Structure 1
Amino acid sequence: MTYTPSEFLVDLLNAKSPSGAEGQSQAVFDKYVESHSDSYERDVLGNRIATLEGNGGPSVMFSGHLDELGFIITYIDEKGFLYFATIGGHDRIIIPGRRVLIQTNKGVVKGVTGKRAVHLMNAEDREKVPKINEMWIDIAAANKEDALSRVQVGDVATYDHEFELIHGSVGAARAFDNKCGAYIVGETLRRLSADNESLKAKVISVGTAQEEIGVRGATTSSYGVNPDFAVAVDVGHSTDHPDCDKRKFGETKLGAGPIITRGPNINPIVFNKLIEAAKKRDIPYQLEGDPRPTGTDARAIQMARSGVATGLISVPLRYMHTPSEMVDLEDVEQSIRLLEGFAKDLQVGENGNW
C-alpha cells in the first residue's frame, strides 16, 4: 500500500525559505492555516500567528519554525563565480558538488557548488575540509557582468533536493528541519478548529522565523503572545544508525513516536501533561534528557516575559542539516495527535506554576 503524505506538508517541504527569506513557507502556512483561525497575524520578523479563541481556558502556544538552512551570496568575482556565506549550521564536508537554486528578483537561477577537484590536491590537502571561502557557486556565467545580470549580492540559495518517499512512510527531504514542525503546529490548529466549541484552551499556533540563526522569531512572538503554556515542536536526532554512541546521545529511533524532552528547559507540569495525553490516547513516545537550554524555540519561549511553562516534542530524524534528512511520517502524525490531546486536556484555571 502506497503512503500518501499530506499536501500541506509536501508544499512546506518544497518551499525554499532560508532564515530571513521565509516568504515561500509563509505563503504555504497562510494558505492552509489562516482560514481555520479565529485571528491571524503577520509580524515584522515574518512570524505567522494563528489563534483559536477557546472557551475560557489557559492559553497555549505551539511553535514550529518555518526557516531552513541556506546560503547567501556575498561576492561575485571577475570570472562570474559566486562566493557565499552559510545561513545556519552547515557541515562543510557536505557542501561541494551540490545543485543549488538561487532565489532572485528575476526568478530562480540554477547553480552548482564547486571546489578544487581531488585530482588537483596534494596528499595533505585531501585530508582537509575546505573552508567556506575555498568554495563557490558556478552558474555557468561568462564573466562578472553576465553573473550580475542574473544574480546580485544578498540573494539566497538552497540545495536542490526535494521531498521523496524512500520506503513506506519514511521520506527524505532537504528541510524536514523544521518544516515538519511548522506543519505539525499548523495542522493541529486546523484539526482543533473542527471541534472548537468543546475546546477550553486558547490555542496559538506560530510558524516562527529565523530559528536557525538564534531562535529570533520565537523570542519576539512568545513575548507578544504571552501564553500560559507552550510546546515547541522541532526535530531531534534519531540515534538508530551506525556510528552513533548511545552512551553519549541516548536511544531514539524512527517510527517509535515523538520524542518528549525532560530537563531544565522543560516545565515539569507540561512534561507530565504531555505524557498523560500520550498514554490516554495510546500514542507511542520516546524520552530525551537534556541538561541545558535546548537548541530549539523552547529556549526562547521559556524565558519570555516573566517565564512560560514550556515543553518540547521532537520528530526523530536521521542526517540532520544535510540535503537528505530522513523522517518517518507516522511520527509526524503521532506528534499532531499528541498536541491535539494536550490542548484538549487543558482546563479552566490551570497554570504551570510548581
Structure 2
Amino acid sequence: MRKESLKFLEKLLDAPSPSGYEQPAQRVFREYVAPFCDELTTDVMGNVFARVAGQGENLPRVMVVGHTDEIGLQVKYIDDKGFLYFAAVGGVDAHLTPGKRVNVHTAGGPLPGVIGKKPIHLMDTKDRETVVKLESQYIDIGASDKEEAQKLVRVGDAVTFASSFTRLHGDRVASRGFDDKAGCFVVAEVLRLVKASGRKLNLDLYGVSSVQEEIGLRGGTTSSYSVNPDVGICVEVDFATDQPDVEKKHNGEVGLGKGPILARGANINPRLFELLCETAESEKLVIQHTASPRATGTDANVMQISRGGVATALVKIPLRYMHTPIETVALSDLENAAKLIVATLDRITSRDEFVPK
C-alpha cells in the first residue's frame, strides 16, 4: 500500500469516533480528501461530503459512502468511590469488555482507564460461567472518590477501547474500528484515484463519510436524502469465514486477501451488480460473493429507498473478529475495492441504464 495512504489509514483508525462523537475522525477524513475534490462540506449531522464534478450537464449523481462511526461506550453514572458505569454505543459484546484498557474522551482530552473485574479467586463457581452484564461493569480511572472523578469526567463522555494499529504477517493488519473505517478509507482512496487519473468522469461523484450507522443507519439516511443520488455504492465490512469458529453456511465462503465482496439480493440493483462483476473481470480483479436475501443492515439499505429509489450496490471488505478491538483485514482487499469502484465509475454513462427491464 502507498505510504501516504497507509499513514492516513492509521490516523483514521486512531481517531475516536463512537456514534454521535465522530468528528475527531471526520477531521482526519476532511484533511486527507480536501486536495482530491472540488467541494467539501459537512452537514448538521456530521456527515462529510466530498464532491468531484464531472464533465457535462445533467449528469448522473453517484454517491460512494462508508460510515466513520465505530462502536464504543458512554459514561452513564459515577459512583461515590469514583468508578464510572457505562452503556454501549452500538453492538458491544459484554464477554469482551472486562479487563480491557479504555480511553475516556473528556473535555480535557483522553483519560486512560481500565474496566475492572473481580479476581477469579473470589468468584463462586456459578459466577465464573456467567457473563457480567454491561450495566454492572465499571471503569476505574484511578480516582479516589466521586468528587475527584467528576473534576475529570462528565456523564455522557464517550469511551473507546485502547487499541493500536498492529501489523500482522504479510499484509494483514488489526485494529479497533475497521467497521467501518475500512469503508471510509476506501471512499477516500476512490476520490484520490479519480483525481490522480486526471480524467473527468461522465458523472458527478459524491464521496461521503457518514455518521451514526451503528445506531440505526442515521447518517446514511440523511446524506442519501441530501445528495439525492441516481446510483449509490456503499462500502462496508462483512464477516470473513476463514477463521476456525465461523460457519460458512451462514455467510458463504469468504476469506481475507481474496478480494472485495459483492453482495447480491433485494437491496442490490441487478444491473449495477453485473457492471461491477464485468468490471472486475475486465480489470483482472479477484472478487468474492455473498447472498443478502433481505434488506442489509448497512447504509445501502436506506440509500436504496431514499426519495424515489436509488440503484444501489454493496462492496464489502472481508473482516475477522467484527466488533472487537482487534478487527483484522488484508490491506490488498482495501486497495482492490477502491480500484474496482473507480474502474466501475468509468463505465457509468447514464442514470437510465440501471432501470430494470
TM-score band, normalised by shorter chain: over 0.9
Q: CA deviation at 1:14?
A: 1.0
Question: 2: CA distance between counterparts of 1:11 and 1:303?
Answer: 33
Q: CA deviation at 1:50?
A: 0.6
Secondary structure of the corresponding residue to residue 281 of structure 2: helix
Q: CA deviation at 1:175?
A: 0.9
Secondary structure of the corresponding residue to residue 270 of structure 1: helix
Which residue number corresponds to residue 81 of structure 1?
Answer: 83
Question: 2: CA distance between counterparts of 1:158 and 1:248?
Answer: 29
Corresponding residue to 2:317 among 309, 315, 318 = 315
Secondary structure of the corresponding residue to residue 279 of structure 2: helix
Moved segments of 4+, more than 3 Å: 2-5, 195-198, 348-351
Which residue number corresponds to residue 281 of structure 2?
Answer: 279
Question: 2: CA distance between counterparts of 1:195 and 1:324?
Answer: 35
Per-residue Cα deviation, 1:252-308 (whole angstroms, up to 9, x for no partner): 000000000001011101111111111110011000001111111111111100111
Per-residue Cα deviation, 1:211-242 (whole angstroms, up to 9, x for no partner): 11111000000001000100000111110011
Corresponding residue to 1:306 among 299, 305, 308 = 308
Corresponding residue to 1:228 among 219, 227, 230 = 230
Question: 2: CA distance between counterparts of 1:252 and 1:177?
Answer: 17
Which residue number corresponds to residue 268 of structure 2?
Answer: 266
Question: 2: CA distance between counterparts of 1:145 and 1:285?
Answer: 56
Please tell me whether residue 20 in structure 1 is matched to residue 26 in structure 2.
no
Structure 2's unaligned 5+ residue stretches are none
Which residue number corresponds to residue 49 of structure 1?
Answer: 49
Corresponding residue to 1:102 among 104, 126, 129 = 104
Structure 1's unaligned 5+ residue stretches are none
Which residue number corresponds to residue 66 of structure 1?
Answer: 68
The two structures have a TM-score, normalised by structure 2, of: 0.96
Please tell me whether residue 137 in structure 1 is matched to residue 139 in structure 2.
yes
- Matched pairs, number: 353
Secondary structure of the corresponding residue to residue 341 of structure 1: helix
Q: Percent identity?
A: 45
Larger deviation: 193-202 or 158-167? 193-202
Which residue number corresponds to residue 178 of structure 1?
Answer: 180
Per-residue Cα deviation, 1:90-142 (whole angstroms, up to 9, x for no partner): 11100110100111111111000113222222111111111012100000100
Larger deviation: 310-319 or 237-246? 237-246
Tell me, yes or no, if the aligned pair for 1:228 and 1:351 is still in contact at 8 Å: no
For the aligned residue pairs, the C-alpha RMSD in angstroms reads 1.4
Tell me, yes or no, if the aligned pair for 1:59 and 1:201 is still in contact at 8 Å: yes
Q: CA deviation at 1:35?
A: 2.5
Tell me, yes or no, if the aligned pair for 1:235 and 1:316 is still in contact at 8 Å: yes
Which residue number corresponds to residue 123 of structure 2?
Answer: 121
Larger deviation: 48-57 or 89-98? 48-57
Secondary structure of the corresponding residue to residue 346 of structure 2: helix
Question: 1: CA distance between counterparts of 2:109 and 2:248?
Answer: 45
Corresponding residue to 1:162 among 164, 170, 178 = 164
Alignment CA distance shift 1:328-1:202 (3 Å): same
Tell me, yes or no, if the aligned pair for 1:232 and 1:313 is still in contact at 8 Å: yes
Alignment CA distance shift 1:222-1:196 (3 Å): farther
Secondary structure of the corresponding residue to residue 241 of structure 1: coil
Question: 1: CA distance between counterparts of 2:344 and 2:136?
Answer: 49
Secondary structure of the corresponding residue to residue 211 of structure 1: coil
Secondary structure of the corresponding residue to residue 243 of structure 1: coil
Tell me, yes or no, if the aligned pair for 1:298 and 1:311 is still in contact at 8 Å: yes
Q: CA deviation at 1:244?
A: 1.6
The two structures have a TM-score, normalised by structure 1, of: 0.97
Question: 1: CA distance between counterparts of 2:269 and 2:198?
Answer: 26
Which residue number corresponds to residue 244 of structure 2?
Answer: 242
Q: CA deviation at 1:196?
A: 5.0
Which residue number corresponds to residue 6 of structure 2?
Answer: 6
Amino acid at match of 1:301: M
Which residue number corresponds to residue 327 of structure 1?
Answer: 329
Per-residue Cα deviation, 1:65-108 (whole angstroms, up to 9, x for no partner): 01101110000000000000000101110011010011111111
Secondary structure of the corresponding residue to residue 95 of structure 2: helix
Larger deviation: 124-133 or 139-148? 124-133
Amino acid at match of 2:229: P
Amino acid at match of 1:265: N
